[in-house]
Amino acid sequence: MAHQSYVLKVSCPDRIGIVSRVSTFLASKQCMIKEANHHADAILGKFFMRNEISDMQMSPEEFETEFKTIADEFEMQWSLSPRIQKKRVIIMVSKQDHCLYDLLYRWKSGEMDYEIPCVISNHLDLKSLVEWHGIPYVHIPVTPDNKPQAFAEVVKWVEHYEADTIVLARYMQIIPPELCEKYPGQIINIHHSFLPSFIGAKPYHQAFERGVKLIGATCHYVTQDLDAGPIIEQEVRRVTHSESAEEMVVLGKDVEKNALARGLKFHLEDRVLLSGNKTIVFA
């Protein structure tokens, strides 16, 4: 495990000396800091830090033992993630394929560095595409009657594959509250509007009705409040009077896949820290 690259994420009450103690600790262990980001939230009085360490010469267990003193002293919430150990991301889809296609490409090309242990869908439409990529396709139909069992099966697969992230790539079912609670900061959704505008169903049709001149998409963590979780990334594009609601749906596909890909990339590289219902993104 030695000589590897790690990301250390820290959040704690703000005070003098945090960077000093952490960086001195890292230097004493011969850790080279490849990239560092700080954020002090003056309103909350909190400090957030991300250090990307190259060439660490101790095991995560040793690190934890030795870092614990500092972490306790500064009341830190912290995590250490090895870059070499790719995140395991289960993608959930319904019938729409644009986000899935895009995520599969970015995975296959190595442009984004993660594993897809399986794709879960309530439909069979995208089975062939997924399997061509050599990825198992798990079909879990969802009906008004079987929702609890269906999502229990989802949990079973998440546990089976030891997934740490679930991406809802235009999965059209509402996630039950228990799941949202079970995986905080681990379920990522792409909503097809510029939130908080046009929450809920058919956002492009809402946008068309209102006559907006830009349409957008929002990549956010899922919480129990529908479309109201912490926003990771947003994108927009210009539209005009000449686009129908249906044409906006098509144009929006590019916006959605770009916002999702960017948001997921930040998540995969441990660049996102949660601060209440907001995110700090060390892009």
> Could you list the residues that contact a copy of itself (CB under 8 A)?
16-17, 19-21, 23-24, 26-28, 30-40, 42-43, 97-98, 101-102, 105, 109, 111, 132, 194-198, 210-214, 216, 230-236, 240-242, 244, 250, 253-254, 258, 275, 277-281, 283
Residues 6+ apart with CB under 8 A from 24: none
Minimum Å distance from CB 158 to a copy of itself?
27
Minimum Å distance from CB 157 to a copy of itself?
25
Residue 1 has which token pair? Answer: 């495990």
For this structure, is 270 an active site residue?
Answer: no
Catalytic residue, from 14, 41, 227, 254: name it. 227
Closer by beta carbon to a copy of itself, 90 or else 231: 231
From the CB of residue 67, how many other CB atoms can be counted at a distance below 10 Å?
Answer: 20
Minimum Å distance from CB 77 to a copy of itself?
17
Residue appearing with tokens 């704690």: 12
CA atoms within 13 A of residue 90's CA, in its CB half-sphere: 24
Minimum Å distance from CB 238 to a copy of itself?
9
- The type of residue at 184 is P
Closer by beta carbon to a copy of itself, 35 or else 75: 35
Beta bridge partners of residue 117, listed in sequence order: none
Helix residue spans in the chain (DSSP H): 18-28, 60-73, 98-108, 127-132, 147-160, 177-182, 203-210, 245-268
Q: How far is CA 200 from CA 27, 184, 206, 244, 279, in A?
A: 49, 21, 10, 19, 22
Closer by beta carbon to a copy of itself, 158 or else 232: 232
Minimum Å distance from CB 79 to a copy of itself?
18
Closer by beta carbon to a copy of itself, 103 or else 140: 103
Closer by beta carbon to a copy of itself, 101 or else 161: 101
Closest CA to 264 of 93, 88, 121, 32: 88
Q: How far is CA 117 from CA 23, 29, 59, 176, 263, in A?
A: 36, 35, 26, 22, 20
| Residue positions annotated with a catalytic role | 227
